[in-house]
Amino acid sequence: MENSNRCPRCDGGRLRGWDELNDDEREVAKRLPASADYSLDGRKARHRWCPRCWYEETSGSPTLV
């Protein structure tokens, strides 16, 4: 596993893009508090989440959705 894919908060989870989350995980990610700077579509395109601790990486580059 690449270090860039490891969660910096829990160090055991793997950061996943929107398309890698299952339906239940997407529902949780939608409900997480987000900065007003990011729309849901922007979050889907650029952010990654750790489904173990729900850390949200906001500095990712755009991904195809």
What is the structure's pLDDT at 34? 79
Closest residue by Cα to residue 18 from 38, 37, 2, 3: 38
Mean per-residue pLDDT for 24-49?
Answer: 91
Q: Where are the domains of the chain?
A: 3-57
What is the structure's pLDDT at 37? 84
Mean per-residue pLDDT for 20-27?
Answer: 97
Mean per-residue pLDDT for 13-38?
Answer: 92
Mean per-residue pLDDT for 31-54?
Answer: 91
For the chain, what is the mean pLDDT? 86
Residue 11 backbone class (left: φ over 0; alpha: ψ -120 to 50; beta: rest) = left
Percent of the chain with pLDDT over 70: 86
